[in-house]
Amino acid sequence: MPRAFLLSRRRFLQQAGAVLVAQVPVAQALARQPSLPQALIHRGLFTCELWIPPVMAGSLDASGVRHYRLSMAPGAQSLVPHLLTPTWGYNGDYLGPTVRIPRGHPVHIHLHNGLNQSTTTHWHGAHVAGDMDGGPELLIGRGRHYDYHYTVWQPGASLWYHPHPSRRTGPHIYAGLAGMLLVDDGVDASLGLPHTYGVDDIPVIIQDRRLLADGGLAYMTHPHDVMGMKGDHILVNGREQPYWKAPAQWVRLRILNASNARMYHLAFADHRPFVVIASDAGLLERGVPVRQLLLAPAERVELLVDLRRDRGRSVVLQSDSRSVVPSLSANPADSDRLDRSVFPLLELRVSGRRGAPGILPDKLVTVPALIPRGPTRHFVLRVKGMGHGMQSPHRMKSGAGETGPSGPGGMSMGLGGLDMFSINKQYMSMSVINVAVTRGDTEIWYVANDSPMAHPFHYHGTSFQVLARDGKPPPAYERGWKDTVLVRRGETVKLIAPFHQPAGHSLPFMYHCHILEHEDNGMMGQFTVLDTSR
């Protein structure tokens, strides 16, 4: 695709976004309007249909175990029209199937590594033991496989899976390896929420990618990319800004920010309200109506959108980034053109009803209040930053000194293993256990951001609740189970989590920033959860 076309299209979008925002005063926000001028659609936007990843429900054996097979392999995919991009995927060219696992039933996942290098797969948000967690110690060599077997007892949730090798998680996810992992407990169906996959309940996996002229993935091609890799093509489920033929009823969007570094400030172009029903790791107590919502890398939300009166209309989900993203960093260079604009993500083309329509009940679930037991811990996030000591990417080798095979189509593996981003003045070291938690405790963790930019903080093996942001209660849509929380610059968040899953010294859990270039360059630590550590 000619560069000039892309640039002019983007400029056009920014102007269109500005016009839309200016013309819709808050008082009129409820009024339903056509979302984007027809002209925009004729400019080549929303030209391909949304791809819905197939469901993998596993096959039940005679002993009651559900079996799944996943294979990581190279492929090629048209991420943007007219270009073919060499990629990696699970059971396909890019991304992977939506793996559904039932709560309380044993599952067995056979994972094969058909790539040219070793990697892992981590079940982000799943309550599984350290030896099934797929962290960096559980490396699977090329041509090898690993058999994960576990039973999850957590509430129904939209989790995800992705590689987690030391220093190379960024390029491996960027190459296309990610998928949704849904824990099913039947509560959503019994509440009457939309729950028919692909009909009124869909995954919306948002990513951004930078491409070379020949279609190849460009990873960390600019020195500043170590602060967080961002691309100028916005993908939803692996296609650039697609459209979805939505039914004229309540629809449920399970939104996953699977980008390496970019945040999205979700909103509809017509400023309509939408209802947040779930945070990262489960349903909220009740739906929370909002008009916009910031989603950091690795965070998920489930949204209900009322399309009952929109038949025949085009409803556009967009990111109103410019109203919030530039304020998340003190360094203007950390936000790019998209971060300073309003850009579309997905068009909902609303047609007739399909199937039995879902409802939005008043009350969803009860989120239990937790009682702390055990030590309180403090984590401080810091950034050494660019400048002296930073070498240009051309002089750095990937994996800090290791030269290894490249990514799909010769994709660069970027920079990993630089000590640039720290937690408690420590940089990730596979030979150091940073924290020892006693199994059965419910700990309070304070995470303070002493750096000029925002960081999404995540930990393995459990779900947490956000008790406070700078001493104040968090917004209502954050008062549920989560596993990733955005910590703004200068901010301190107070989290509480029970630790039940065991993890020993050889296969510990991780806590880290989920901006993948920060994680790969120091901002990660390891913790054990053991019966005996007190």
Residues that bind Cu ion (CB under 5 A): 124, 455, 460, 513, 515, 518
Least Å from the CB of residue 173 to ligand C2O: 9
Least Å from the CB of residue 160 to ligand C2O: 7
Sole binder of ligand C2O in the list 127, 167, 512, 518 (CB under 6 A) = 512
Reference 35, options 363, 313, 320; nearest CA is: 313
Q: Which residues pair with 485 in a beta bridge?
A: 457
Query: Is residue 122 close enough to count as binding ligand C2O by CB under 6 A?
Result: yes
Query: Is residue 127 close enough to count as binding ligand C2O by CB under 6 A?
Result: no
Structure tokens at 452: 């000029």
Least Å from the CB of residue 204 to ligand C2O: 17
Provide the pairing of β-strand 292-295 with 201-209.
unpaired
Least Å from the CB of residue 255 to ligand C2O: 15
Site for ligand C2O in 283-312 (CB under 6 A): 298
Q: Which is nearer to ligand C2O, 443 or 483 (CB)?
A: 483
Exposed/middle/buried for 85, CB within 10 Å: 0-12, 13-18, 19+? Answer: buried
Residue 515 binds what, of ligand C2O, Cu ion, none (CB under 5 to 8 Å, by partner type)?
Cu ion
Q: Which is nearer to Cu ion, 244 or 509 (CB)?
A: 509
Q: How many residues bind ligand C2O (CB under 6 A)?
A: 10
Least Å from the CB of residue 8 to ligand C2O: 36
Sole binder of ligand C2O in the list 93, 95, 99, 124 (CB under 6 A) = 124
Residue with tokens 């095979």: 405
Q: State the alpha helices, DSSP H only, in 125-242.
A: 169-174, 187-191
Report the alpha-carbon distance of residue 523 to residue 518 in Å, rounded.
5
Query: Is residue 263 close enough to count as binding ligand C2O by CB under 6 A?
Result: no
The residue type found at 508 is P
Least Å from the CB of residue 84 to ligand C2O: 28
Report helix, strand or coil for 152. Answer: coil
- Both ends of the chain: CA-CA distance in Å? 61
Q: Give CA angle at 453 (320, 121), nearest 5°.
A: 85
CA distances from 313 to 148, 252, 308, 338 (A): 45, 18, 11, 26
Report the alpha-carbon distance of residue 162 to residue 160 in Å, rounded.
7
Query: Is residue 349 close enough to count as binding ligand C2O by CB under 6 A?
Result: no
Query: Is residue 510 close enough to count as binding ligand C2O by CB under 6 A?
Result: yes
Residue 127 binds what, of ligand C2O, Cu ion, none (CB under 5 to 8 Å, by partner type)?
none
Report the alpha-carbon distance of residue 228 to residue 205 in Å, rounded.
18
Residue 518 binds what, of ligand C2O, Cu ion, none (CB under 5 to 8 Å, by partner type)?
Cu ion
Count the residues in the chain: 534
Q: Which is nearer to ligand C2O, 68 or 509 (CB)?
A: 509
Exposed/middle/buried for 78, CB within 10 Å: 0-12, 13-18, 19+? Answer: middle
Q: Which is nearer to ligand C2O, 183 or 342 (CB)?
A: 183
Which residues neighbour 532 within 8 Å (Cβ) at sequence distance 6 or greater? Answer: none
Could you tell me how far CA 85 lies from the centroid of its own chain? 22
Q: Which is nearer to Cu ion, 107 or 447 (CB)?
A: 447
Residue 479 binds what, of ligand C2O, Cu ion, none (CB under 5 to 8 Å, by partner type)?
none
Least Å from the CB of residue 125 to ligand C2O: 8
Residue with tokens 């199994």: 439
Which residues neighbour 522 within 8 Å (Cβ) at sequence distance 6 or greater? Answer: 418, 419, 420, 421, 422, 427, 428
Stretch that binds ligand C2O, among 30-38, 177-185, 320-328, 509-517 (CB under 6 A): 509-517
Q: What is the largest CA-CA distance in the chain?
A: 66
CB of 517 closer than 8 Å to CB of 170: yes
Least Å from the CB of residue 455 to Cu ion: 3
Least Å from the CB of residue 95 to ligand C2O: 15
Residue 513 binds what, of Cu ion, ligand C2O, none (CB under 5 to 8 Å, by partner type)?
Cu ion
CB of 90 closer than 8 Å to CB of 96: yes
Site for ligand C2O in 150-179 (CB under 6 A): 162, 164
Residue 512 binds what, of ligand C2O, Cu ion, none (CB under 5 to 8 Å, by partner type)?
ligand C2O
Which run of H or of E encompasses 87? strand 85-90
Other beta carbons within 10 angstroms of residue 38's beta carbon come to: 9
Query: Is residue 460 close enough to count as binding ligand C2O by CB under 6 A?
Result: yes
Least Å from the CB of residue 257 to ligand C2O: 11
Least Å from the CB of residue 70 to ligand C2O: 16
Structure tokens at 405: 């095979």
Query: Is residue 518 close enough to count as binding ligand C2O by CB under 6 A?
Result: no
Residue 298 binds what, of Cu ion, ligand C2O, none (CB under 5 to 8 Å, by partner type)?
ligand C2O
Q: Which is nearer to ligand C2O, 36 or 181 (CB)?
A: 181
Q: Which residues would be at the binding site for ligand C2O (CB under 6 A)?
A: 122, 124, 162, 164, 298, 458, 460, 510, 512, 514
